[in-house]
Chains A and B, each alone.
Chain A
Amino acid sequence: MEEIELERQGVVYASTVVRVSSPAGIKAPYAYGYVDLPANQLRVFALFTGADPGSFVPGRKVEVVLEPIGADTEGNAVIGYKFRPVSG
């Protein structure tokens, strides 16, 4: 096993807006999908943030950001990765 560093920017491959709250505790509506990281030839599952949920159409450029994604059973924030639109 070898650890590699992934590029921080990618392109939305596919997306959806979920209109019902998830069992993982995320309030609707929320957007997720798959982001392609071309330099790594890798596709990752990702929640989207920082823009209208319906705006993460395939082809949109996005970048990774660390954010709370929920809380554990003891109320501690759980930090995860999300993708937001590339700024500028």
Chain B
Amino acid sequence: MRDVYIIGAGMTQFGKHLERSLRDLGREACLLAFRDAGIAPKEVEAGYCGNALAPAIQGETGVGQNVFWEVGISGIPIVNVENACASGSTALREGWMAVAGGFYNVVMITGVEKAVMPKGTMLNVGAGELATKLGEVFPGYFATIAQKHMERFGTTREQMAQVSVKNHIHGALNPYAQFQKKFTLEEVLKSPMIADPLTLFSCCPNSDGAAALILCSKEKARKLNGRAIRIAASVLATGTYENQRDITNWEVEIRAAQQAYKMASLGPEDLDVVEVHDAFTICEILHYEGLGLCPLGEGGRLIEERATELGGSIPVNPSGGLLSKGHPVGASGVAQVVEIVWHLRGQAGERQVEGAKVGLADMMGGNKEGDTRACTVHILVKE
């Protein structure tokens, strides 16, 4: 297996882009990645595009071919990847495998989504699932997890709300974030209840946006700008749907993280900066535990101790996370890695984690049988 490097990264601001199309957003992200890498579109040998909802929301398929053609890429293999919230990160893993396996020397990854919905409506996805037909909604599933975590470990509403407070503090420093506004603990707790105990500001928004990465082999990276970031681990795992499992942790995430640490010959103690899938506040607390940033059950304590804030011992979601940066579903997994690349290069502006050398991006996608469909973990290293 060959080493794979990221040589280009770019993204649009996340938010409401009502007047812009998927291909317009994708084009901006891809052009920024090309400018960053200093290579031309004709050097790309394969393209991978993560998108989750265009068939359902825009009635559009083949988004990858559309976006890549906007930047003059055609003829080469192009793959459209759908893996719910992990669509973009799964596209990244497909591209990583292709370069690691020696099939290509340069590949491009993009993730793009337009998921802003009319006010007050929730995404209606998973319509083939019995639970969805019966009335299950995304916040409700995570609300049951929160209830059990509170019951088993004594996690509090205040600790969960602190995740949102922290991520909005970070997002206020990120010009790419959808919300650049801070909230108090009180404001998060008193925002309208969505699914008890999760309030409105405990849930990430629906967003539009795109992100892009360019990967290459070691030989190619050597000839370029000298800012290449190595992908030390890329893992994709699927839930087991164990019917009576304890829902206060995600076995699939623990398993994926362990595989990633082994692949990278690193451990959670080596991480300087982490981006996780905080679709709901409780998720971030479970991710702390699943990734081994703290023991099982102690995620509430970790946020309360401010360890995961910028300036803390292990900053998590310096971008603002999905809660503040926004969540254009298919783009989010790519954007997490863009953020980590910026930190490892020292380009993250006011939210920079000083001296960061190792970063991790963790994404989960889709619910099935009370478990998670897809979980990706990427570890990036500055050499």
Residue of B nearest to A80 (CB): B134
In the complex, the answer to whether A43 meets B135 with C-beta atoms within 8 Å is no
Q: Which of A13, A32, A54, A58 has the most CB of B within 10 A?
A: A32
The one of B122, B135, B196 in contact with A47, judged by C-beta atoms closer than 8 angstroms, is B135
For the complex, give the distance between the alpha carbons of A15 and B195 in Å: 10
How many A-B pairs have beta carbons closer than 8 Å: the answer is 80
When distances are taken between beta carbons in the complex, the residues of chain B under 8 Å from A34 are 144, 370
For the complex, give the distance between the alpha carbons of A18 and B370 in Å: 17
A24 touches B (CB below 8 Å):
yes
B247 touches A (CB below 8 Å):
yes
- A 16-38 binary contact with B (CB < 8 Å = 1; else 0): 11111011101000101110100
In the complex, the answer to whether A19 meets B193 with C-beta atoms within 8 Å is yes
A42 touches B (CB below 8 Å):
yes
B336 touches A (CB below 8 Å):
no
For the complex, give the distance between the alpha carbons of A33 and B145 in Å: 10
In the complex, the answer to whether B120 meets A20 with C-beta atoms within 8 Å is yes
In the complex, the answer to whether B195 meets A14 with C-beta atoms within 8 Å is no
A 53-71 contacts with B by CB, 8 A? 54, 58, 69
A76 touches B (CB below 8 Å):
no
In the complex, the answer to whether B194 meets A18 with C-beta atoms within 8 Å is yes
- Interface size for B (C-beta < 8 A) is 30
B205 touches A (CB below 8 Å):
no
Question: How far apart are A24's CB and chain B's nearest CB, in angstroms?
Answer: 5
Stretch of B67-75, B124-132, B212-220, B228-236 with 4 or more beta carbons under 8 angstroms from chain A: B124-132
In the complex, the answer to whether B124 meets A14 with C-beta atoms within 8 Å is no
For the complex, give the distance between the alpha carbons of A13 and B247 in Å: 10
B254 touches A (CB below 8 Å):
no
B267 touches A (CB below 8 Å):
no
For the complex, give the distance between the alpha carbons of A22 and B123 in Å: 10
Interface of A is mostly: strand
Question: How far apart are B381's CB and chain A's nearest CB, in angstroms?
Answer: 39
The one of B120, B130, B144, B370 in contact with A15, judged by C-beta atoms closer than 8 angstroms, is B144
In the complex, the answer to whether A32 meets B136 with C-beta atoms within 8 Å is yes
When distances are taken between beta carbons in the complex, the residues of chain B under 8 Å from A41 are 244
Contacts A18-B140, A41-B244, A58-B148 hold; do A32 and B122 have CB atoms under 8 A apart?
Answer: no
For the complex, give the distance between the alpha carbons of A23 and B138 in Å: 11
- Interface size for A (C-beta < 8 A) is 27
For the complex, give the distance between the alpha carbons of A23 and B143 in Å: 17
In the complex, the answer to whether A47 meets B134 with C-beta atoms within 8 Å is yes
In the complex, the answer to whether B135 meets A22 with C-beta atoms within 8 Å is yes
When distances are taken between beta carbons in the complex, the residues of chain A under 8 Å from B97 are none
When distances are taken between beta carbons in the complex, the residues of chain A under 8 Å from B123 are 23
For the complex, give the distance between the alpha carbons of A80 and B137 in Å: 17
A 4-20 contacts with B by CB, 8 A? 13-20
In the complex, the answer to whether A33 meets B144 with C-beta atoms within 8 Å is yes
Contacts A14-B148, A18-B195 hold; do A23 and B137 have CB atoms under 8 A apart?
Answer: yes
A to B CB contacts below 8 Å, 29 in the list: A14-B144, A14-B145, A14-B148, A14-B247, A15-B144, A15-B147, A16-B140, A16-B144, A16-B195, A19-B192, A19-B196, A20-B120, A22-B135, A23-B123, A24-B124, A24-B132, A26-B135, A30-B135, A32-B134, A32-B136, A34-B144, A36-B244, A41-B244, A42-B244, A43-B243, A45-B130, A45-B134, A58-B147, A58-B151
Q: B residues bordering A, Cβ < 8 Å?
A: 120-124, 130-137, 139-140, 143-145, 147-148, 151, 192-196, 243-244, 247, 370
Closest 4 CB pairs of A and B: A23-B124, A16-B143, A14-B144, A45-B131
Instruction: A16-B140, A17-B195 are known; give 16 further A-B pairs, CB within 8 A.
Output: A14-B148, A14-B247, A16-B144, A16-B196, A17-B196, A19-B193, A20-B137, A22-B122, A22-B136, A23-B121, A24-B134, A32-B134, A33-B144, A43-B244, A45-B130, A80-B134
